Structure 1
Amino acid sequence: MLLIRRISQLLCVAGCLEMALPAHAAANQALPLECKLTLPASGKAGSPVELGFELISHDKRTLWVLGWNTPLEGLRNVFLRVSRDGEEVPYVGPMFKRGNPAREAYRQIRPGGSLHASVELGLAYDLSKPGVYRVEWAGKLFDVIAAPKRPPRPLSQHQMQALECASVEVRLN
């Protein structure tokens, strides 16, 4: 009986805390976005290898996604983990330091819509050796805004969101 009463108290505390959260905490909940990565099945070592990126919205509102550190802006920081036959391939591309974003740094996704981008992996990773290359998403979305709010917003108000993407592989001969 004591255990049941204690569980009831804990559930009440959890429920009361949830109701007492400030309005901006509710906005931190992940928005329904899906990520897909694509690579060709095979290619030649040292030749261009294009990684496809698709961001799909399952929200009923228009969303604005800050494209920083995603293929939406190219390879401008580390947001992928690339390995060849199980060994890490280091990132050798540019690294950007940033201030507050401009409106143009955000990409709009209409309800049920998607965004597409592709990047040439060889511009930031050494793909010159034969092997099986595995590409994994290692990034996050730095800011996602749901309508009726509109971008931009300052760094201090960004709401980061995790993004799950299935890894992909390509065999380079």
Structure 2
Amino acid sequence: MKRNYWPLFFVAIFGFTFYMIVWTIYSAIKVPVHEDDAFFKKYQDVDDHYNEIINSNKIFLSKYNFKIILNDKEYGLDTNDIFLSQRVIEKRQTHRDILKVGENSIKVSIKDKTGDSVDNMKIKFRVTKATNNNSIIDLPENSFIFNNEVYNSKVTVPSIGNWNIIATFEKDDSKGYLFIKTNAN
């Protein structure tokens, strides 16, 4: 009598498939998960309320004249980099080489529409690696010192690489958001 080996072939395929499913789950569990918290919110909140963030920036800019100076380079209140990949930043000249390894100077000038400086602004400022959450540098709110109509602070970047600059500026009911992708060299 001739033996039929087809059922063993199907059992082997089923066993291999089951093994690959278990291996995939096991491998996925071992990989660390880093939740993005751009704008100091979960990315789901940013997705759900993105239009509110942009409108908040428009309202903020209708009340205040804003500029941020990072290592003697001046920028406005900008969130457009959130749409760009890090490779685009490497090719563009707009936000390249803003940061340097070591100490970096931050100056924020916020004036109302009459030209008077605004003090008591609540500033949250973060510099973080673009690839992981292991290199988050949060500046304490009291690290920005209001002097000569400008908020001054410093941040130390520990390594070369791609970095994100995230900040919020809040006064009364107005809130401005900043998101810049850059690199440090």
TM-score, normalised to structure 1's length?
0.41
Higher relative contact order (CA 8 A, sep 6+): 1
**Bigger fraction of residues in helix:** 2
Query: Whose radius of gyration is greater, 1 or 2?
Result: 2
